[in-house]
Amino acid sequence: MRVGRASRRAPAGPSSPEIRTRRLEGTTLDGPRDHDSDPGRALEGALDRARAGDETGFVQLWRALQPPLLRYLTVRGNDAPEDVAAETWLQVVRDLHSFNGGVADFRAWLFTVARHRAVDQGRARTARPVVPVADPLSHGRSAASHPSAEQDAAERAATAAALRLVASLPPEQAEMVMLRVVAGLDVAAVAELVGKTPGAVRVAVHRALKSLSRDPRIRATREVV
């Protein structure tokens, strides 16, 4: 028995709210995705190894979470997001032995520490000695893993454009969008972090994403990559 093409379910059109929202949640903000691996499972293993004192486990956590952490701090408007991120990771390394929980809990803890550090920086910046730290990304990296110059430039341009769009939102909304979409925290964790109810977080993020999805510039950021 033949089934006519008309009976097939039509794909969502370009104006679908779900499609519009996914445009924001794509590679422009989240960074390149590895479709050949399970990032959640990999990070669980990395977290277990890091807690056991394995350097490679910590390096894997750093590689996965440093980019969204920097994007979050950049949208917050901190003067030196790299410095705040470095202080955040130093505290994480120091206190990791006392941490209990899975990857979702680790994400929430990491961004909570970062937010507290960012607030402290905003209140008063004091001179601190510069401590040279080896770049974790240089550990075990092969030349074949480097993206092309064109690809790297395109990804950087798309990410910068998307961050500018999010930063154009009211500060509270921008922070909640970054914590939900980029950091990957659940609603309860975001609510606790920003001092809002879960319902207020859901409404604020929904309105922010809906507003951004209507902006014609969001399509431009997708076309760059």
In the predicted structure, residue 111 carries a pLDDT above the cut 50: yes
Q: Would you place residue 36 in the very low, low, confident or very high pLDDT band (cuts 50, 70, 90)?
A: very low
Taking domain 150-225, whether its CATH number is 3.30.1490.190 is answered by: no
What token pair was written down for 48? 């277990």
Boundaries of every domain in the chain: 36-121, 150-225
Matching fold, domains 36-121 and 150-225: no
Fold of 36-121: Rna Polymerase Sigma Factor; Chain: A (1.10.1740)
* Alpha helix stretches (DSSP H) within 143-197: 149-167, 171-177, 187-194
CB atoms within 10 A of CB 63: 14
27, 33, 92: which is closest to 64 by C-alpha? 33
**Tens digits of residue pLDDT in 56-81:** 999 999 999 999 999 999 888 777 88
Look up tokens 């974790």; give the residue: 136
164, 197, 172: which is closest to 29 by C-alpha? 164
Lowest mean pLDDT segment, chosen from 101-105, 199-203, 219-223: 219-223
Q: Is the pTM of this model over 0.85?
A: no
Distances (CA, A) of 30 to 23, 65, 69, 131, 144: 11, 10, 11, 29, 22
